[in-house]
Amino acid sequence: MERHTLMRPSWKGAWVPVVVLLVLGGGLAACGGAPPKPADLETLDGLRASRIVEAIRQDPAEIENANVRELRELALEALRASDRYHEESVANWRRNRQDAAQVTARMGLTYHRAAENYFRAAEARERLAAANVSLQGQIQRRNEYMERLQSEQELIAMLETIRVLFQRNEELQRQLATIQEQARVESRALYAIQEARIEQRAAEGMRAEQFATSTYRDAQQLLTRAQARFEDSRFEEAYEIAVQALDVFRRAGEEARPRFMSEQDRLLSDATNRRLYERAQQIFGADRARIDARGLVIVMPDLFDARAAEVRDTRRGELEQVLDMLRQAERSSVMIEGHTDDRPNAEAAMALSQTRADTVLNFFLQRGIAARRLSTSGFGRNQPLYDNRSAQGRANNNRVEIIFLFR
């Protein structure tokens, strides 16, 4: 059975907002009795009493299947993290720290849901293993039956069975061909939409929404329609509309380019902006350091392993170079945007991208950059910059973008 690598939960970056809330809400405990529990804390209390929690807590050491055992261990680890956040949330609530209680309860819910997902995946693995055992047993019984065929009557009956099996096999082959065709059409539509989003991002970099408003708005409407058709499983229509959207986004970018280049020249007329831009181009190259509507954008591709939020050791040197630029441009504010490839589901991708942005923020904070200069945002899998159809494209989309905001 194929062994899949699973992301272990990471709590780095989760403590910063909690600490801030604890500092801000330190005086609330003097206000009197405990307020009503936050809704997320009530929900977490209910989940902790559910039957699935007891199932998760079963010792996975006795399980023979390595994949199932690892999934159960991950579920137990996530559940323990949820328990810790629950205890912290209850403590905050009892001290009248409502905001801190809400934040830690929400973190507890996140880890509790992760534990449930790991547990359900383990159950699915167990069912698959049982099905495989059953299948092997059926194959063995079929072979034994064939060896016992001795009479002509048995042979005739077996031939008839074979004929029926051949017919069934042909039917299954037709069904498989249909499924494969549907998957092909669905994939083609999905990647057309992703390509349109890449082109949309390029057009936005040219300020097309401002300098080519009508064309950009038409492209947005086409992309919205394509996404709606895709969600309704009308994949052929989604593909055709997405291709149209991609073409219109390109036109919008071309229309906006002359005015944006003038705007770029104006921005770079500032000596500080120009020095920062030239420094970024020298370090990262023109394909990864560019000016767009927000300011100077530095793209940091392949910064994380798939479904992980820890910066790869081989890429820390690039963050050190950005840190040096931050120290030189002392008055610049910076936005850190986190992104993922298209493999996590939408909710997981959004949470992972925000954690990645927070990881980079903490990297800078720990090295002396003032928190007031930094902000973060996670975009999940919604803004691919590279083609997710290739392994390298997916790796590059596990990235952050660091934007030096021009005044």
How far apart CA 14 and CA 348 sit, in angstroms, is: 15
Confidence label for 407 from pLDDT (cuts 50, 70 and 90): low
For the segment 80-106, the average pLDDT, to the nearest whole number, is 87
Q: pTM of the full predicted structure?
A: 0.49
Q: What is the pLDDT of residues 50-90, one digit of tens each?
A: 767 877 777 677 777 777 878 888 888 888 888 898 888 88
Q: What is the pLDDT of residues 331-367, one digit of tens each?
A: 889 999 999 998 888 889 999 999 999 999 999 999 9
Residues whose CB falls within 8 Å of the CB of residue 256, separated by 6 or more in sequence, listed in order: 203, 206, 207, 208, 210, 211, 212, 216
pLDDT reading at 401 higher than 60: yes
Residues whose CB falls within 8 Å of the CB of residue 250, separated by 6 or more in sequence, listed in order: 199, 202, 203
- C-alpha R_g of the chain: 28
Residues whose CB falls within 8 Å of the CB of residue 220, separated by 6 or more in sequence, listed in order: 200, 245
Confidence label for 319 from pLDDT (cuts 50, 70 and 90): very high
- 208 or 144, higher pLDDT: 208
Nearest to 118 by CA among 75, 163, 158: 75
pLDDT of residue 149: 57
